Amino acid sequence: MSTPAGGQPSQVVMETSMGNVTFELYWNHAPKTCYNFAELARTGYYSNCKFHRIIKDFMIQGGDPTGTGRGGTSIYGGYFEDEFHDELKHTGAGIISMANSGPNTNGSQFFITLGPAQWLDGKHTIFGRVCTGIAVVNKAGMVETDAGDRPKDDILILNAYPVQ
């Protein structure tokens, strides 16, 4: 695996339609996942993506350019393997993990927890946490949704970019 342009960024900033959120990346635990996320951000892949699924008190999900929850791909050209570590747990709000459809099906979609979700440990790769902007995440988690957990009003990732 090569290093992202400009080295390993310690954070990724997401400018959303509700405010900015900055994520600290866990390179020591999930290097392939961090590289994927940082490169997708750097190349503009996440720009204008919706947070397409929100479940109150659980999580907000985004990263699918189709906005359906069925799209998106990794920088590796398809799916890539999980990176689980016993010391990383879904202990509370602000954990960022890969969304998937089963083992080793990571692509571009991710979710941010709104509270503890320990039943996801060992099933979804944790690769960082919110270090600034948790109020934005919490506000997004309270928007009105339809019966399919889709926000009634779009919440967009306007821009995302890695920072050192």
Which pair of tokens denotes residue 145?
């949704």
Which residues carry out catalysis? 53, 58, 61, 100, 111, 120, 124
User: DSSP letter at 104?
Assistant: T
Q: Which residues contact 101 (CB under 8 A, 6 or more apart)?
A: none
User: DSSP letter at 148?
Assistant: T
Note whether 34 and 128 are within 8 A (CB): yes
Q: What CA–CA distance (Å, rounded) separates 81 from 89?
A: 18
User: DSSP letter at 118?
Assistant: G
Question: 51: which strand partners?
Answer: 62
User: DSSP letter at 30?
Assistant: -
Q: How many CA atoms lie within 13 A of 72 on its CB side?
A: 30
